[in-house]
Chain A
């Protein structure tokens, strides 16, 4: 008699098709236009940083998982996405060793030592970025890093604003890239990619919208204080919204699945708080270029606490 052995599992027997790999690769695809424009503006230097960042992030993840005796999961694209995001936060021309150190910090200190995806309390990309920003700040200065490239001289957008050179800032450049800044500075393209991800329900859109709301409120409340005292110029809120990685923060860094809360109200507070804090650091802080990064990291610490704000489950009223 021929035995038919059936596959047995628990319900449900259907699945929506969602997966970590799909999320990561779609996330990378959404960043691709911004990355392409970055390469267009900053030439091969940007391509080198992007490639090296992604490669070293994946290497770090595989290496760490091997050492810890865990299954190697670089195929799910999560390390690659971390690498890509880190690259977009770095200026073209960042020294190769700094790129590698940043990637390793992001993957190992930011993610793997906590147990990998799902366990890290902070956004891995931001941890890596902050570590190298604080340790080797000189090399992270976009102005200095881009000095070797023809056609790039002057100040980054935020530095120009803080210096009071409002006329030197062109809104078109801030939205489409090509300013003195990190590779992913084409804010408009990042925004479009992010909106696509929102429409596909792949990211926590509440966090994104809350973040943008926080940035806008900060802009209204104290945005003009970014100018030096006594300046009577005014700052275009759109410049504030697109400059300094706000769009990357809103759609790709703040809604990071692991380090952000998941309850509806908590997501709004988290996003809004991060946005407001980002503006405060940008306007008043010493690391004004890192406002978005520090804003998100600091509010992430409150993430688990925020997740306590949850609705009463049905049947328990």
Chain B
């Protein structure tokens, strides 16, 4: 069995730019969609606000390019919500319309000031599509979280994004994390790092192991707090979870007045080629692949996130969003298929499950919608790391069965509440 080891492959972050059309669904990780505040054919500056919302947990959206609004449309986002979408034709390399930098010491800054700035600059959780742990949205609550956790390494083997961001500017990540800690009122600040990153951060750390899924956010949070708080729901209420890139964006928003205009992501052809690039938000996937010399062809698979928890994409021209951490292409000839086959009881899934779930019995019940039985077999403990499906001898789509059952349970819960 191929073991899933985290490997660090460091290279320079490549900047991908180039004029063209940028498609910007106005949605954010963990938030509700925003409203467009520019009209058709309007001229926009790079860094100009194009989407806003009155909800306090929603950050604004800015144009990554100088140009004009070419279309206003609606797109179904990663989360499955229809979001207002602004399409901008223009150049992403010019000067940025920034906000006024704030130079004061963190101690002198009011939490409210930082929150307002982060909102204006579009600092919502970056990355997180396909981590199966929900990154927290900015919020000011009466009961602040006990801990702010910053993921400085990537949760999955193929991804290299966060470790590149941390190496690029560790001092900015640390300062941004401190700003965010103040903004949300978290008691402890904890950096989740891999062994080789310990020297880059200062303060409290929790170290992930060498093998997947030790970098899974749910497991890291449990290690940092000493408890699995599944009854809390997801995201956990006691931990504010973000990654290094979000911390860096927070630092730049406050100190340089820089809005979020681009996203760092690992791009590659699965297996032999992966580089870390920084692209303007809204760049179509096909263009990102094109700049690496990769062509997307019929029946290939394109997925965002990592190879175990990611999400397959049906549109090769879908845009890079604030949630995109990784973007990979698998050629049609290399794909494996799931099978509608019975469980043979080999027990491999039980051996790999990090949550000690009787996966064989749980998924048999999930498959046929027997939700109560699946719950009795610990469905709620599942963190959807995907290892069971990875090792399944019968090649059953176990993660799909689990996600299906969880959705069914949600529906039943809603029906019970409304009744």
Binding site for B on A (CB under 8 A): 3-20, 23, 115-119, 201, 204, 257-264, 267, 307, 310-317
Interface set, chain B 324-357, CB cutoff 8 A to A: 328, 330, 332, 335-338, 341-348, 350, 354-357
Residues of chain B within 8 A of A12, CB atoms compared: 307-310, 386-387, 389-390, 399
CB distance from B119 to the nearest CB of A (A): 32
The reply to whether B1 and A10 contact each other, CB–CB distance below 8 Å, is no
CA–CA, A117 to B171, complex, Å? 58
Q: Which of A15, A204, A307 has the most CB of B within 10 A?
A: A15
Q: Does B301 count as interface, using CB distance less than 8 angstroms?
A: yes
What are 6 A-B contacts with C-beta separation under 8 Å?
Answer: A6-B315, A10-B397, A23-B393, A118-B343, A267-B347, A314-B222
The reply to whether B393 and A314 contact each other, CB–CB distance below 8 Å, is no
Q: Does B5 count as interface, using CB distance less than 8 angstroms?
A: no
- Known: A118-B344, A262-B360, A314-B228. Contact between A7 and B2, CB under 8 A? no
- Known: A313-B356, A314-B354, A314-B381. Contact between A11 and B394, CB under 8 A? no
Residues of chain A within 8 A of B357, CB atoms compared: 313
CB distance from B10 to the nearest CB of A (A): 22
The reply to whether A118 and B342 contact each other, CB–CB distance below 8 Å, is yes
The reply to whether A11 and B355 contact each other, CB–CB distance below 8 Å, is no
CB distance from B269 to the nearest CB of A (A): 12
Partner of A313, one of B313, B381, B399: B381
CB distance from A19 to the nearest CB of B (A): 6
Q: Does B79 count as interface, using CB distance less than 8 angstroms?
A: no
Partner of B345, one of A7, A8, A15, A258: A258
Residues of chain A within 8 A of B335, CB atoms compared: 7
CA–CA, A11 to B399, complex, Å? 7
CB distance from A114 to the nearest CB of B (A): 11
- Known: A4-B297, A8-B301. Contact between A19 and B393, CB under 8 A? yes
Partner of B356, one of A9, A11, A267, A314: A314
The reply to whether B313 and A6 contact each other, CB–CB distance below 8 Å, is yes
Residues of chain B within 8 A of A18, CB atoms compared: 1, 348, 391-393, 395
CA–CA, A140 to B46, complex, Å? 87
- Known: A14-B307, A310-B358. Contact between A257 and B312, CB under 8 A? no
- Main DSSP-derived SS at the A contact region: loop
CA–CA, A263 to B391, complex, Å? 16
Q: Does B169 count as interface, using CB distance less than 8 angstroms?
A: no
The reply to whether A315 and B230 contact each other, CB–CB distance below 8 Å, is yes
The reply to whether A204 and B330 contact each other, CB–CB distance below 8 Å, is no
Q: Does B311 count as interface, using CB distance less than 8 angstroms?
A: yes
Residues of chain A within 8 A of B222, CB atoms compared: 314-315
The reply to whether A257 and B303 contact each other, CB–CB distance below 8 Å, is no
Q: How large is the interface on B (under 10, 10 to 19, 20 to 34, 35 or more residues)?
A: 35 or more
Interface set, chain B 96-115, CB cutoff 8 A to A: none
Residues of chain B within 8 A of A317, CB atoms compared: 228
- Known: A6-B302, A11-B130, A262-B360. Contact between A17 and B344, CB under 8 A? no
Residues of chain A within 8 A of B2, CB atoms compared: 16-17
Q: Which of A13, A23, A263 has the most CB of B within 10 A?
A: A13
CB distance from B365 to the nearest CB of A (A): 14
Binding site for A on B (CB under 8 A): 1-2, 130, 222, 228-230, 270, 296-303, 305, 307-316, 328, 330, 332, 335-338, 341-348, 350, 354-358, 360-361, 378, 380-381, 386-387, 389-395, 397, 399-400, 403
The reply to whether A257 and B309 contact each other, CB–CB distance below 8 Å, is no
Residues of chain B within 8 A of A14, CB atoms compared: 270, 307-308, 390
The reply to whether B310 and A13 contact each other, CB–CB distance below 8 Å, is yes
The reply to whether A314 and B394 contact each other, CB–CB distance below 8 Å, is no
CB distance from B410 to the nearest CB of A (A): 17
CA–CA, A262 to B399, complex, Å? 19
The chain B residue sitting closest to A117, CB to CB, is B344
Residues of chain A within 8 A of B403, CB atoms compared: 10
Residues of chain B within 8 A of A264, CB atoms compared: 350
Residues of chain A within 8 A of B393, CB atoms compared: 18-20, 23, 257
The reply to whether A263 and B355 contact each other, CB–CB distance below 8 Å, is no
Partner of A11, one of B270, B296, B308: B308
Residues of chain A within 8 A of B1, CB atoms compared: 16-18, 201
Partner of A10, one of B347, B358, B400: B400
Residues of chain A within 8 A of B298, CB atoms compared: 3-5
Residues of chain A within 8 A of B356, CB atoms compared: 310-314
CA–CA, A13 to B347, complex, Å? 21
Closest 8 CB pairs of A and B: A262-B347, A315-B228, A118-B342, A313-B378, A315-B230, A12-B386, A10-B400, A313-B381
Residues of chain A within 8 A of B313, CB atoms compared: 6, 8
The reply to whether A7 and B347 contact each other, CB–CB distance below 8 Å, is no
The chain A residue sitting closest to B305, CB to CB, is A11
Apart from A11-B312, A262-B358, list 9 A-B contacts with CB within 8 A.
A8-B312, A8-B314, A9-B301, A10-B403, A17-B2, A18-B395, A262-B346, A263-B347, A313-B357
CB distance from A27 to the nearest CB of B (A): 12
- Known: A201-B1, A263-B350. Contact between A7 and B336, CB under 8 A? no
CA–CA, A261 to B300, complex, Å? 39
Residues of chain B within 8 A of A267, CB atoms compared: 347
The chain A residue sitting closest to B232, CB to CB, is A315
CA–CA, A6 to B301, complex, Å? 5
CA–CA, A263 to B360, complex, Å? 10
The reply to whether B301 and A19 contact each other, CB–CB distance below 8 Å, is no
Partner of A16, one of B314, B316, B391: B391
CA–CA, A261 to B335, complex, Å? 32
The reply to whether A7 and B299 contact each other, CB–CB distance below 8 Å, is yes
Partner of B312, one of A6, A118, A262, A314: A6
CA–CA, A273 to B356, complex, Å? 24
